[in-house]
Structure 1
Amino acid sequence: MSRTTERTAAVSGTPGQVQAAGPVAPPRVSARRRRPGVIALSLALIAAGGAGVAVLLLQVGHRTEVVTVVRDVQVGQVLTNDDLGKASISLDPAVKAVRADDLDSVVGKRAAVELRPGSLLAPSQVTKDSLVKAGEQLVPIGLKPEQVPATALVPGQKVELVHVPAQGQADTGKSSDASPQTIGGRVVKASGAAPGTGIVVVDVATSAEDGPTAAAWVSAGALRLVLAAPDGN
């Protein structure tokens, strides 16, 4: 057989011989069906997340102009423009602060509490009334550390000034079970404890008639301060 015939036979093949394999078809992959409910839930979550981010950005970006305290103001002191300033802050709705637009309405009023620089001014911290009213007198009372109530003394708190015998003096001529003399009063201001001694000075407003008596008790060391009931009784 000639070489030409052999090549032809090799190409065409003969019965019983295995023919060369053809191209292999890729495996069929069926498309996964997406359930409409899952798609709807995904879209809803994406929308909710976007709305939450938008609300957060709005809250962070919203700022309020408020009134601030720029220097120390004592209780009862009349507020001036020099005592107050303005600041733009992100204000929580639960925080009660005087808005900057209302600054003129608080100038000329009195501080109901001691004001510190850097703090926000709240409406409850100012009053248009004098802390010492007409017909009253102010009596300063020094209290030793053991005489200071554990409850904080705040302006407006009602107290009783109780007369007690001075140390080393006997209460002669009176029955031991007699009720002590008392004078009603109202706290105007309480200082911090003095360094070293711990003495706290409390300014108490009393009636003009009782003021001199209370001052005499203080001078004699025969006075104690007692907190009155919340309703004043």
Structure 2
Amino acid sequence: MSKTQERIDAAPNGPSVQGRVAGPVAPPRVSARRRRPGVIALSLALIAAGGAGVAVLLFQVGDRTDVVTVVRDVEVGQVLTARDLGRASVALDADVKAVRVDDLKSVVGKRAAVELKPGSLLAPSQVTKDALVKAGEQLVPIGLEPKQIPATALVPGQKVELVHVPAQGATDTGAGGGGGSGGAPRTVEGRVVKASGAAPGTGVVVVDVATAVADGPTAAAWEAAGTLRLVLAAPDGS
């Protein structure tokens, strides 16, 4: 036997290694993922809720009302003009009362029943066709110090009583007087037309009160003498 043949026979695997054909490789087994019905149901519920929310939002955006707005400062009693008013399209709550754009012409020429500020919606109750000081009335300005101002806000149209409080030891026989020192104090009926803000430093509030013509000078004399007090009347005026 030749040395070459001996080396071939001594090879570990011999010629059969070269003739071996590799078989197909099996793919790794992947276990199927377990389905979770609870997670699927929750996902569907969230999708449905999101769709409903979008639908409601689109409905609210589409359901808008054209209303009248205030674009300039308007004092109490001032006649409204077209320049004082604007318009806006808003999603209006059913409980909110606002003048519709279709009724804009009906409020032009009326008077502001309250002080109007830019950016606010105009409500029907904020305008009036009547003069704030009517025939047979006079306007009396009343200055109130901080301790004399009611905690309840004073608003136009509110009924009040102007009470004469004589100085200590004095009798009620001055201007507009007539009552004795032990009698009931004199009063004058009035109606708030406007109340200013508190003055810087002093805190004094000026209230314009409409009174009967016969009572105007009396109330003015009480105010000048510092013997006048303002009292809120009952809502029904009694």
Q: How far apart, in 1, do the equivalents of 2:208 and 2:120 lie?
A: 24
TM score, norm. by length of structure 2: 0.75
Question: In structure 2, the residue corresponding to 1:28 is in which secondary structure?
Answer: coil
Give the C-alpha shift of residue 69 in structure 1: 1.8
1:153 alignment counterpart:
154
Give the C-alpha shift of residue 43 in structure 1: 2.6
Question: In structure 2, the residue corresponding to 1:183 is in which secondary structure?
Answer: strand
Q: How far apart, in 2, do the equivalents of 1:179 and 1:84 lie?
A: 49
Write the deviation string for residues 21-61 of structure 1: whole angstroms up to 9, x where unpaired: 96653342332353566544433321321332343355457
Matched, 1:216 2:216: no
In percent, how many aligned pairs have the same letter?
77
Q: How far apart, in 1, do the equivalents of 2:12 and 2:215 lie?
A: 139
Question: Within 5 Å, which residues of 2 pair with 1:164-175?
Answer: 164-165=165-166, 167=167, 170-171=170-171, 175=180
Question: Within 5 Å, which residues of 2 pair with 1:44-55?
Answer: 44-55=45-56
Q: How far apart, in 2, do the equivalents of 1:34 and 1:60 lie?
A: 40
1:10 alignment counterpart:
14
Matched, 1:130 2:131: yes
Q: How far apart, in 1, do the equivalents of 2:33 and 2:234 lie?
A: 77
More off after superposition, 25-34 vs 121-130 = 25-34
Give the C-alpha shift of residue 74 in structure 1: 1.2
Give the C-alpha shift of residue 64 in structure 1: 4.3
8 Å contact 2:144–2:206 — kept in the other structure? yes
1:16 alignment counterpart:
none
Write the deviation string for residues 49-93 of structure 1: whole angstroms up to 9, x where unpaired: 133234335545765433222222111222111211223455555
8 Å contact 2:71–2:119 — kept in the other structure? yes
- Change over 3 Å in CA distance of 1:34–1:224 after alignment to 2: same
Write the deviation string for residues 154-173 of structure 1: whole angstroms up to 9, x where unpaired: 111111111121x4762178
Question: In structure 2, the residue corresponding to 1:218 is in which secondary structure?
Answer: helix
- Change over 3 Å in CA distance of 1:117–1:8 after alignment to 2: closer
Q: How far apart, in 1, do the equivalents of 2:112 and 2:50 lie?
A: 47
TM score, norm. by length of structure 1: 0.77
Indicate the RMSD between aligned Cα atoms, in angstroms: 3.5
Q: How far apart, in 2, do the equivalents of 1:175 and 1:168 lie?
A: 13
- Which of residues 187, 196, 199 in structure 2 aligns to 1:191? 196
One-letter identity of the residue aligned with 1:171 = T
Give the C-alpha shift of residue 12 in structure 1: 4.7
One-letter identity of the residue aligned with 2:123 = A
Q: What stretches of structure 2 of length at least 5 have no aligned partner?
A: 174-178
More off after superposition, 38-47 vs 74-83 = 38-47
Matched, 1:178 2:179: no
Give the C-alpha shift of residue 113 in structure 1: 0.7
One-letter identity of the residue aligned with 2:124 = P
1:121 alignment counterpart:
122
One-letter identity of the residue aligned with 1:170 = A
8 Å contact 2:114–2:126 — kept in the other structure? yes
One-letter identity of the residue aligned with 2:205 = V
Q: How far apart, in 2, do the equivalents of 1:204 and 1:43 lie?
A: 66
Give the C-alpha shift of residue 114 in structure 1: 0.8
- Change over 3 Å in CA distance of 1:8–1:151 after alignment to 2: closer
Count of residue pairs brought into register by the alignment = 227
Q: What stretches of structure 1 of length at least 5 have no aligned partner?
A: 14-18
Q: How far apart, in 2, do the equivalents of 1:172 and 1:3 lie?
A: 151
1:42 alignment counterpart:
43
